[in-house]
A = this chain, B = another copy of it.
Amino acid sequence: MESSDAVNLKRNEKVSNVYPVLMAGGIGSRLWPVSRELSPKQLIKFTGEDSLLQSTIKRLAPALDTENLRIVCGDKHFDETARQMEEIGVTPAGKIICEPCGRNTAPAILLAVLNILKVEKDAVLCVFPADHVIREIEVFHRKLESAILLADKGYIVTFGIMPSYPETGYGYIEGGKDISYGALTLKRFVEKPDIKTAKEYIKAGNFFWNSGMFAFKASVIMNEFKVFEPELFKRMSDLVAVKETVTKADYEKLPNISIDYAIMEKTDRGAVLPSDFGWSDIGSWKSLYDFFPKDDEGNVIKGDVIAKKTRNCLIIGSERLIAVNCLENMVVVDTSDSVFISDMENTQDVKTIVTELKEKKRKEY
Contacts and interface: CB of A to CB of B under 8 A. Distances in A.
Interface string A340-351: 111101110110
Contacts of A346: 309, 325-326
Nearest to A334: B339
A308 B338 CA distance: 15
Contact of A339 (B308, B322, B343, B353): B322
14 contacts: A306-B353, A306-B357, A320-B339, A321-B339, A323-B340, A323-B341, A324-B341, A325-B343, A325-B349, A325-B350, A325-B353, A326-B346, A327-B341, A334-B339
A323 B309 contact: no
A120 interface: no
A362 B356 CA distance: 37
Oligomer copy total = 2
Nearest to A354: B323
Contact of A308 (B326, B336, B353, B364): B353
Nearest to A319: B337
Given A306-B353, A349-B308, A342 B321 contact: no
B321 A341 contact: no
Given A306-B356, A353-B306, A325 B347 contact: yes
B342 A324 contact: yes
A352 interface: yes
Interface of A: 32-33, 306, 308-309, 320-327, 332, 334, 336-343, 345-347, 349-350, 352-353, 356-357, 362, 364
Contacts of A357: 306
Contacts of A32: 323
Nearest to A320: B337
Contacts of A345: 326
B321 A337 contact: yes
A35 to B, nearest CB: 14
A191 to B, nearest CB: 26
Contacts of A353: 306, 308, 323, 325
Contacts of A332: 339, 341
B323 A338 contact: yes
A33 B352 CA distance: 29
A160 to B, nearest CB: 32
Contacts of A306: 353, 356-357
Closest 5 CB pairs of A and B: A325-B342, A326-B343, A321-B338, A326-B346, A324-B341
